[in-house]
Structures are given as C-alpha cells and as structure tokens.
Amino acid sequence: MTANYQHLALALVQPGMTLSDELLDVHGHVLLPQGTVLTGAMIALMPRHGIESLAVVSAVTVSAEEKAAGMRYHEQRIASLFRKQDPDADADWATGLLRRFVTDFRLGMQEPDA
C-alpha cells in the first residue's frame, strides 16, 4: 500500500481518485490493480462485489520545510546509528556498505516534487 492513503466509504469515492492498493473481492481475486484511476462506472459496480469502502491515494502535499526537516531527521538518525563506524576505515567495509545502503534508502529515495 502506498504511504499516503485514506480509507473512504464508497459514497465518498469520486471518479478520478486512484487506488492505493489492489482491490480484492471477497474470494481474494484481484478486481482492480494498484494505481487504477477510478471511473464512475467502476464505482457503480463496487456494491455488486461487496465493496463498501476503498483505500485511495491521499492528496496530502508536503511543504519544502517539512521535506527538509525529514531529511535532517534521517541524517541525524543515520549519524547516531553509525556513530562508532569510521566511514574511511577500509577494515570495516561491511558496515560502510550498510551505511551507504541505509543512507541511499532514507535520503536518496525521496519523492519528486510535484
């Protein structure tokens, strides 16, 4: 499921909203894949499949200040986690590699600005 989503009652779902996860029927079969942009016809057929609510992508926007604060938090947390590791030490290459992967994941995988 995507990070920013909200569960809405079917009556509140509007055409143009995007599914945050795949939609399954009561038997576990995929009705619609994740990322599907809903149409009025799709929404109208949901009650036939026992669907009463949907998880849709939230339209929450994050300000530049909030993004910068998040980056600072992750930088400080990584520094704290790896405080005993010298990044220039060749003898501790495994921890250095782990630090690089964690840093790339936390700081390099930021969502692009809209």
Assess whether pLDDT exceeds 90 at residue 86. no
What is the secondary structure of 1-52 as a DSSP string? --SSEEEEEGGG--TT-BBSS-EE-TTS-EEE-TTPBP-HHHHHHGGGGT--
From CA 39, how far away is CA 33, in angstroms rounded?
Answer: 14
Q: What does the pLDDT look like over 20-61, one tens digit per residue?
A: 989 988 888 899 999 999 999 999 999 998 888 999 998 766
Domains of the chain, residue spans: 5-57, 64-108
Q: What does the pLDDT look like over 54-80, one tens digit per residue?
A: 999 987 666 788 888 888 998 999 999
Q: Apex CA 64: angle with CA 82 and CA 54, to 5°?
A: 90
* CATH fold of 5-57: Molybdopterin biosynthesis moea protein, domain 2 (3.90.105)
Q: Which two tokens stand for residue 92?
A: 């501790």
